[in-house]
Structure 1
Amino acid sequence: MSWHPHITVATIVEVDGRFLMVEESKGGRLVLNQPAGHLEPHETLRQAAVRETLEETGWEVALAGVVGIYLYTAPSNGVTYQRVCFAATPVRHEPHRELDSGIVAALWMTRDELANQPERWRSELILRCIDDYLAGPPHDLAVIRD
């Protein structure tokens, strides 16, 4: 039996105590997540984080650091994900940009608003990444070697 972890990226974007989140349809219900997704062939982790954030939220961002690297096995399907979570600052919004399939909306939410809705989290990594970001500071982007 072969085991293949999935490499994903996520981005923490915070402005005035509010975090950029996506509301997406997953398994027939609406869930909350950071802008996140899978690394694509011939793409760096940094490129993937910037691309996924733009595709899922319409926000162009500048990466500011690395929040952490997480290993998570989804209880729903047993798949293991390695998530590299970046901190980023918003640069420009494209409000008319069509968002990725399955994305219902991009939302700005406080940590408390998220903490009060655990039944809507795509995974427990959502709050863990935000708490790690808030504990800061993020690691220098130089820790990512392309």
Structure 2
Amino acid sequence: MTGHRDFEDLRRFKRFRMTGTARAAFFATAREFLKLGEILDISLGGLAMRYVGFGEQPDGPIEVELFGSSGEVVRLGRFPCRIVYDFELADESWGILKVRRCGIQFRELSKQQLAQIQTFIDSFGIREESTPPDDADFAGSGS
């Protein structure tokens, strides 16, 4: 997708940059592993991640699993989500290995899942006044 930074920032949730130890893994609905990457920033509405891959994420429903380490490994269950954008970071890519940035929006989360994500943010988030915008959790996105 192109032009994602042209949108007005309509986010409903505060975005937090993450420490370098927070990761996300994507799975297809059929439980097939798709990608593993570093979480760049996260909110209760979605996240942005960087990963090495060969192409864009597949269409259709996916789930994301969050995990990290701060002395001990913290692993959360899987959360339903949808991909908002996925593009190559050309300046970071080399040869056939393409470094990509992907933004996702969480879908239909329970109160318990929201609490788990908040705990994850509290454990791995970097507190600061503002974070750079991207569009994984626009108020107008999704259903």
Q: TM-score range with shorter-chain normalisation?
A: 0.3 to 0.5
- The TM-score with structure 2 as length reference comes to 0.39
Q: Which has the higher helix share?
A: 1
